[in-house]
Chains A and B, each alone.
Chain A
């Protein structure tokens, strides 16, 4: 008897990762992203344990006011003689924290709402669609500004909201519409598929069908959306800080650009340059990586 080895099929995820691994540029971008996250983690732990290293010592004066970039200070100094490089590195923490928290908030709101709307349809659907249509009819930045102004200096559960918390709450609470709409549509499609019908005929509860059967099957969309949205959240944080609504005490890229605005006319370009480079690198990496992720995970785009 010939033993026939049945080649084990690869799952969507395994397949996707294998494809990604093959593209070197994508892996470089991935490394950049990981680096930003590691830096953020490092700054958090440094602050927690009180390590006195580079970025957490951004307040220290390392030279005179507005020293141009040189051997000692790669990116020069700002008005107080603080190292711009340290500020730039510290700004990573601000940006990544905001983007991560805002993404999580928007996913936590958007994904369940979208799934519920798509699965139950009817009255529930109408309400959810009405809410997000209303939200999305207001210009995005204005909405964030309104939330940021309202949340500014308010207390939530006895905890005072400071700059950065306000920013990610404002962004998170206003930007769940996209993912909600996406999931709703996808769930509507999947609802009539055999596996869902089978689960139904077995008598599974609605919540089990949504969370055990439907969501895992549309989750790759969440990942793709997450990676692409992450960039826009970083930008949103920069814009809010630039407008003076974000982090006021600690460095952030938006605040650096805001400072640079009046400094530019006297020829102080290095703060602007440092912040721009930092934003550019992470945006580029996330964009390329996000696109690649979609290419490899989206079944329709899977061409060898």
Chain B
């Protein structure tokens, strides 16, 4: 999914600007509200206090589009599969499924058996208020619901052109009056349930990435009773099978989840990656999940209050605001002694994302001028950006495949894009020859208007002016920016892309010519060579050959340079020592059930603070 520059700090989403005084007051209210909000603290109750850096849209998995909404939904709902909490590289294990799917020889039919004896949480939408057993048809219903065009799900891209008959079902829903007039009992060739515990999925063409999407919160099963009972209000009445239930939702300030007593028996994993035992991540092996009674998310949009709450022990984990970075992290990238004295732990998360400076390949100046695009790539000082803006914490990108992916090229530093002002000058001379004269002023568009984005825009501009280009800056809000991208009316733009699943395909699709705007390929890049490799690789199951193809595809893009790969984000998260089993996870769906708190340690910390 695309990342607005505003979420560059993601979990420390910075100053949301605009009517900033209003926002600021709101933030103050949040802090004031927090004091009383978490309902009566019971000393024996294990409660995690986490932070949510943005308001969320609701708890309907099919309707969620933001990372944060998906995260919260994933604690209440479950999918067929989930990522192993400890193992790296990320590995899928069954969640609601009995085992891994049986795949037919032609890779087109997936037969998945689901676990028996799984019950939805108790809710008044069911006949007697008791949660009923999960059936295979609940999955089919949820997926058809996403296909329902009147439901306006932002997640249709998951299934588009993939499952036999589902696109036709979407066509049919166009003729329905409203989202609740759709007849979900219509059979679909590609989604069948021979019995209550079996799903058979038939695909139009091989789609190995389906496994990752079956672990993606929007594909979670939904009880039709709940949708019928609550109607549009379902966004605030989630009924799932997961370890937690929604207790309180105060849109602007507070989300509280409590343990779901109906949750099936699931246990903490007893295997992890190397070093997990030493780090204590296996101490709870075999314990029944979830490990806490309650999760309480405080919604704090400003990073400074978030940080202060963390230091006061009111939040268990927090990102570090840019301007407090020096207080928490020493120049050697370790915790400062002040933080160590407080028994705070540092967790670094290398996110699977890349920030680009993209070019519109349909622009007459840039599209036909490869040396110009390469010159801009050589002229952009990536290390300077991380130093000035990200406390030197982010990784310089040489290609667009982040290091955690299998297809990451170990030789990318030598063959990828790199800052080289001398080469930029040479290339620029070639570029002028191609253009036939002095290059015109180029326009750089940024999809945010806050301070940091403005400074970042100015930094981009300065870098490119240093190699002798003239740049005009343009700032606009994210929705307007997206619309401009979709209508191909930007020239140069700054944009980030974050992987939705650990398959390099998620990065390659943004360069595929058939995905040109309004699809995700906003560069409108079109290369026969790339398309051929992509089409071949995308239907292949994971293998060394596929990895090789992925690398070739990346190399093709880097050579043509429809975008400058700038940085990969690295998040620094601090957590107090009473928050146990906190291991960084880049697909953080359903992870809070593994985490625990030590209430006595928290109380001791607060005592210590009181004494000063």
Q: Which chain A residues have a beta carbon within 8 Å of chain B's beta carbons?
A: 59, 65, 79-80, 145, 152-153, 242-245, 248-249, 255, 258-259, 261-263, 265-266
Contacts and interface: CB of A to CB of B under 8 A. Distances in A.
B475 A248 contact: yes
B483 to A, nearest CB: 12
Contact of B323 (A145, A244, A248, A265): A265
B326 A266 contact: yes
Contacts of A263: 323
Given A243-B18, A244-B450, A259-B451, A265 B476 contact: no
Interface in B277-295: none
B19 interface: yes
Nearest to A258: B451
A262 B15 contact: yes
B458 A80 contact: yes
Contacts of A59: 462, 465
Contacts of A261: 15, 451
A257 to B, nearest CB: 10
Contact of A244 (B14, B449, B462, B473): B449
Nearest to A248: B475
Contact of B473 (A65, A245, A248): A248
Contacts of B462: 59, 80
Nearest to B387: A65
A259 B474 CA distance: 17
Nearest to A80: B462
Given A59-B462, A265-B304, A265-B324, A243 B20 contact: yes
B472 interface: yes
Nearest to A263: B323
B305 to A, nearest CB: 11
A65 B462 CA distance: 14
B595 to A, nearest CB: 30
Interface of B: 14-15, 17-20, 304, 321-324, 326, 388, 449-452, 454-455, 457-459, 462, 465, 472-476
A265 B321 contact: yes
Contacts of A255: 454
- Most B C-beta atoms less than 10 A away, residue of A59, A65, A249: A249
Contacts of A258: 451, 454
Given A79-B388, A153-B476, A243-B17, A262 B452 contact: yes
A258 B321 CA distance: 17
Given A79-B388, A265-B304, A245 B449 contact: yes
23 contacts: A59-B465, A80-B388, A80-B455, A80-B459, A152-B476, A153-B476, A242-B20, A243-B17, A243-B20, A244-B17, A244-B18, A244-B450, A244-B475, A248-B449, A248-B454, A249-B473, A255-B454, A261-B15, A262-B14, A262-B451, A263-B323, A265-B304, A265-B323
B454 to A, nearest CB: 6
A80 B381 CA distance: 13
Nearest to A266: B323
6 A-B pairs with least C-beta separation: A244-B449, A266-B323, A265-B323, A248-B475, A258-B451, A249-B473
B565 to A, nearest CB: 23
A258 B451 CA distance: 6
A262 B452 CA distance: 9
A65 B388 contact: yes
Nearest to B449: A244
Given A243-B17, A266-B323, 19 more contacts: A59-B462, A59-B465, A80-B458, A80-B462, A152-B476, A153-B474, A242-B20, A244-B17, A244-B449, A244-B475, A248-B474, A248-B475, A259-B451, A262-B15, A262-B322, A262-B323, A265-B304, A265-B323, A266-B326
Contacts of B452: 262
A165 to B, nearest CB: 14
A244 B454 contact: yes
Nearest to B476: A153
Nearest to A152: B476
B455 A79 contact: yes
A248 B458 CA distance: 9
Contacts of B473: 248-249
A152 B304 CA distance: 31
Contacts of A259: 451, 455
A59 B463 CA distance: 12
A113 B304 CA distance: 49
B474 to A, nearest CB: 8
Contacts of A243: 17-20
A245 B388 CA distance: 24
A242 B21 CA distance: 11
Contacts of B326: 266
A198 to B, nearest CB: 54
Nearest to B472: A249
Contacts of B15: 261-262
Contacts of B450: 244
A280 B353 CA distance: 45
A259 B323 CA distance: 12
Contacts of B304: 265
Contacts of B465: 59
Contacts of B475: 244, 248
Nearest to A268: B323
- Most B C-beta atoms less than 10 A away, residue of A65, A145, A265: A265
A255 B103 CA distance: 59
Nearest to B480: A153
Contacts of A248: 449, 454, 457, 473-475
B149 to A, nearest CB: 31
A195 B473 CA distance: 57
B387 to A, nearest CB: 8
A261 B24 CA distance: 12
A252 to B, nearest CB: 11
Nearest to B325: A266
A244 B475 CA distance: 9
Nearest to B307: A265
A259 B472 CA distance: 20
A236 to B, nearest CB: 15
A278 to B, nearest CB: 19
A152 B19 CA distance: 16
Contacts of A242: 20
A32 to B, nearest CB: 30
Contacts of B321: 265
- Most A C-beta atoms less than 10 A away, residue of B17, B450, B451, B457: B451
Contacts of B18: 243-244
A65 B322 CA distance: 15
A244 B16 CA distance: 11
A262 B453 CA distance: 12
B443 to A, nearest CB: 11
A249 to B, nearest CB: 5
B430 to A, nearest CB: 27
A86 to B, nearest CB: 15
A121 B3 CA distance: 58
A258 B455 CA distance: 11
A65 B321 CA distance: 18
Contacts of A265: 304, 321, 323-324
A265 B307 CA distance: 12
A98 B326 CA distance: 39
A47 to B, nearest CB: 15
Contacts of B451: 244, 258-259, 261-262
A241 to B, nearest CB: 10
